[in-house]
Amino acid sequence: MKDAQATALRERAERVLAGGVNSPVRAFRAVPGTPPAIVRGEGAYLYDADGNRFVDCILAYGPHILGHNPPEVLAAVRAQLERGIAFGTTTLPEVELAERIVDAVPSIELVRFVNSGTEATMSAVRLARAATGRDGIVKFDGAYHGHADALLAGAGSGVATLGIPGSPGVPAAAVAGTTVLPYNDAGAIADLLSRRGEQIAAVLVEPVAGNMGCVPPLPGYLERLRSLTREHGCLLIFDEVMTGFRVAYGGAQSLYGVIPDLTCLGKIIGAGLPVGAYGGSRTLMEKVAPSGPVYQAGTLSGNPLAMAAGGAALDCLRDGTKYERLEQLGHRLADGFAEAGAAAGIECAINRVGSMVTPFVGVDRVVDFASAQRASRAGFAHLHQTWLEAGVLWPPSQYETGFLSTVHTDQDVDRISEMFAGGVVAAEQVPAL
Ligand code: PMP
């Protein structure tokens, strides 16, 4: 793979950007090779300054479910651009996007837009604390809910990739109210709530974990979270920043039929522009300023460009055939991985929900962060390198999920599987990197 331009960009970036990046996982610290200097995206492909083309399974970490540059989204952004970029008043595109979200997401009667997933979860936690008069929150080991202080405990995604236990700079008091429990362990949460339920404002969960790699909920787990939180008067918050409009149009809550009290969104609802949102019942959301006392605001919240982009993307997705196609593609990819692993005689857990897919090499089952950590990270790094050199851009960490879009073809997916077959090796056989 040619990478002279990529290397030059990396060196230049390292001179002026902290760590050479604006989000840690982009630095490729857990895999060999240089992050490509991407100059253009089109459909399922990315093109770099060195002349390489990649089948893209990062998709900007989730937003591009329709692939890069869907014409409907471009047209909506262009039209809004002509009218203006930001006004500091409520505009039609934000009302239209809110209407679509309220229609689609079962738990949401009122929504508030913010600028990132981090802001969405941070604000939802504040609202939950205010609504219950309690301070405690529960999150799950290996889940990532953005980088707000209270949620930077036992975090997945880039925090796990870099092996950071928490983060310096987070005051002990900020995480004192945060309890971290194993995901998919109904006994652990039942036990905690039976002892300290009256102190817990909310249980915050990625209904399909995506930041320890993809880890689906075990059958009955989300239902149990719902009944336990109800029993103890705690709110259930689904962090659907990744899963919202990804695993189904109405998110994981419509896929599994479990309705939380509050829902956080991001990524797809902005189609690649900066966005986040949180929402819930009218009663809860009316506690947010100005109708209620819980303060939360944003200069660029509901930014018309992001709202127009998101609205156009949701219009394309509303046609349910898109999710059938994503399911077919995801199924084909997971089957391809499983067959390749079996052919090579290497144990692999292939986790998938719809178009979110993660292969874990060297383990037979991944149901939580502890089992995800038993997968061979060297094996993953070798796989990643094989993919990169063959023109497949997979997230550069075991603890990120791979994504497919509606415009990936069967051939694209088969190529990813073929290269998986070429790159999958037992942990003890990984060549020195
Ligand atoms: N929650 C989840 C489930 C996420 O996956 C992410 C980001 N990957 C966030 C929250 C934080 O979102 P953002 O990066 O937009 O702040």
Residue 75 pLDDT > 60:
yes
Query: Of these residues, 261, 267, 278, 322, which one is catalytic?
Result: 267
- Confirm if 278 and 129 have CB atoms less than 8 A apart: no
pLDDT digits (tens, 9 = 90+) for 289-342: 999 999 999 999 999 999 999 999 999 999 889 999 999 999 999 999 999 999
What does the pLDDT read at residue 320?
82
Which of 290, 317, 344 represents a domain boundary (last residue)? 317
Domain assignment present for residue 284? The answer is yes
Is residue 80 domain-shared with residue 61, that is, in the same domain? Answer: no
Report whether pLDDT(163) > 80: no
Same domain, 387 and 417: yes
Q: Is residue 433 predicted with pLDDT exceeding 60?
A: no
Q: Tokens at residue 116, please? A: 């990132």
Q: Is a pLDDT exceeding 60 seen at residue 197?
A: yes
At residue 190, the 3 state secondary structure works out as helix
Whole-number Å distance, alpha carbon 341 to ligand 1 midpoint, is 31
Where is average pLDDT lowest: 131-145, 162-176, 371-385?
162-176
Please report whether residue 337 resides in a domain: yes
**DSSP string of 324-379, one letter each residue:** HHHHHHHHHHHHHHHHHHHHHT--EEEEEETTEEEEEET-S---SHHHHHTS-HHH
Distance in Å, CA 131 to ligand 1 centroid: 23
- For residue 265, the CA-to-ligand 1 centroid distance in Å is 9
CA distance 422 to 158: 27
* Range in 174-178, 201-205, 272-276 with the lowest mean pLDDT: 174-178
In this structure, are 208 and 356 located in the same domain? no
Three-state DSSP class for 191?
helix
Whole-number Å distance between alpha carbons of 222 and 236: 10
* Domain assignment of residue 196, yes or no: yes
Last residue of a domain, which of 292, 317, 342? 317
Q: Which residues of 232-257 are buried (b: 16+ CB within 10 A; e: fewer)?
A: bebbbbbbbbbbbbbbbbbbbbbbbe
Instruction: Give the active site residue among 3, 50, 61, 144.
Output: 144
Residues 63, 183: one domain?
Answer: no
Q: What is the CATH number of the domain that holds 168?
A: 3.40.640.10
Q: Is the Cβ atom of 145 under 6 angstroms away from ligand 1?
A: yes
Handedness of CA 208, 145, 265, 257 (dihedral sign): positive
Residues 173 and 291 in one domain: yes
Q: Could you confirm whether 412 is annotated as catalytic? A: no
Kindly state the average pLDDT of the residues 104-119: 98
- Average pLDDT over the chain, rounded to an integer: 96
Whose structure tokens read 């061979």?
376
For tokens 């205010």, name the residue.
Answer: 130
Summarize pLDDT for 235-289 with one digit per residue, the tens: 999 999 999 999 999 999 999 999 999 999 999 999 999 999 999 999 999 999 9
Ligand 1 touching residue 386 (CB < 6 A):
no
Query: Is 156 a residue whose pLDDT tops 90?
Result: no
* 433 located within any domain: no
Q: Is residue 220 located within the same domain as residue 344?
A: no
Rounded distance, CA 151 to CA 399, Å? 17
**Average pLDDT of span 143-155:** 92
Query: 384 and 309 in one domain?
Result: no
Q: What is the CATH number of the domain that holds 378?
A: 3.90.1150.10
Q: Is 239 in the pocket of ligand 1 (CB under 6 A)?
A: yes
Is 278 touching ligand 1 by the criterion CB < 6 Å?
Answer: no
Query: Is 313 in the same domain as 326?
Result: no
Clarify whether 323 is annotated catalytic.
Answer: no
Domain hosting residue 260, numbered range: 71-317
Q: Which ligand 1 atom is nearest residue 275's CA?
A: 15
Q: So what's the pLDDT on residue 297?
A: 98
Q: Report which DSSP code applies to 211.
A: B
Q: How many domains does the structure of the chain reveal?
A: 2
Closest CA to 235 of 107, 106, 147: 107
327 and 371 belong to one structural domain: yes
141 & 185 share domain: yes
Q: From 288, 317, 346, give the residue that closes a domain.
A: 317
Q: What is the CA radius of gyration of the chain?
A: 21
207-212 mean pLDDT: 98
Is residue 90 located within the same domain as residue 194? yes
**Do residues 207 and 328 both lie within one domain?**
no
Q: Is 287 a catalytic residue?
A: no
Is the CB of 242 inside a 6 Å radius of any atom of ligand 1?
yes
Mutate to test the pocket of ligand 1, among 23, 147, 242, 262 (most ligand atoms within 8 A of CB): 242
Nearest atom (ligand 1) to Cα of 146: 11
Lookup: tokens for 327: 């399911």
What is the pLDDT at residue 165? 62
pLDDT at 427 over 60: yes
Query: Residue 374: inside a domain, yes or no?
Result: yes
Q: Is the CB of 269 under 6 A from ligand 1?
A: no
Ligand 1: which atom is nearest the Cα of residue 62? Answer: 8
